[in-house]
Amino acid sequence: MRAVVQRVTRASVTVEDKIISKINLGLLILLGIETEDTQEDIEWLSRKIANLRIFNDEAGVMNKSLLDVNGDAIVVSQFTLHAATKKGNRPSYIKAARPEVAIPLYEQFIQQIESDVNKKVGTGVFGADMKVDLLNDGPVTILIDTKNKE
């Protein structure tokens, strides 16, 4: 499971010209799911994101988590995070989970992060053509991969 986590001052997701999720201060989480991902990946990644200290404290140091700042979150599925670009110029998405595997894991991740941050999170629509608008704060953008825990 891979996530691109972006600290934002605002973010929204639009599907078919309708805004379906909108937040102010918080995190935009782009989530890529592999066939091999498990509940353990979901729990580890959700806990890591909820507690990631990437918001500024009173001294301007990144020392506060989403929980500390009572921020909001949007989770958007993005299979392209598993693009393999080693050969040729057309990315391969063979490692990305098919919808029958990915959708339940995506839904489980949403439930887990809502539990970990004690609030509802916004979402995209799995498989839809989405327009994601954001104002990245910092910019702060972090890649987290449950198969490569750095």
Give CATH for domain 2-145.
Answer: 3.50.80.10
CB 2 within 8 A of CB 145: yes
* pLDDT at residue 150, rounded to an integer: 76
Among residues 6, 78, 112, 146, which one is catalytic? 78
Among residues 79, 109, 112, 123, which one is catalytic? 79
* pLDDT at residue 28, rounded to an integer: 98
Q: Is 43 helix (H, G, I), strand (E, B) or coil?
A: helix
Per-residue pLDDT reduced to its tens digit, 85-139: 988 899 999 899 999 999 999 999 999 999 999 999 999 999 999 999 999 999 9
* pLDDT at residue 149, rounded to an integer: 85
Q: Is 116 helix (H, G, I), strand (E, B) or coil?
A: helix
Question: Is 109 in the active site?
Answer: no
The arithmetic mean of pLDDT across residues 134-149, rounded, is 96
Per-residue pLDDT reduced to its tens digit, 58-80: 999 999 999 999 999 999 999 99
* pLDDT at residue 73, rounded to an integer: 98
* pLDDT at residue 140, rounded to an integer: 98
CA-CA distances (angstroms) from residue 141 to 5, 6, 95, 112, 148?
6, 4, 23, 22, 17
Domain boundaries, the chain: 2-145
Among residues 35, 38, 39, 80, which one is catalytic? 80
CB 7 within 8 A of CB 149: no
Per-residue pLDDT reduced to its tens digit, 4-61: 999 999 999 999 999 999 999 999 999 999 999 999 999 999 999 999 999 999 999 9
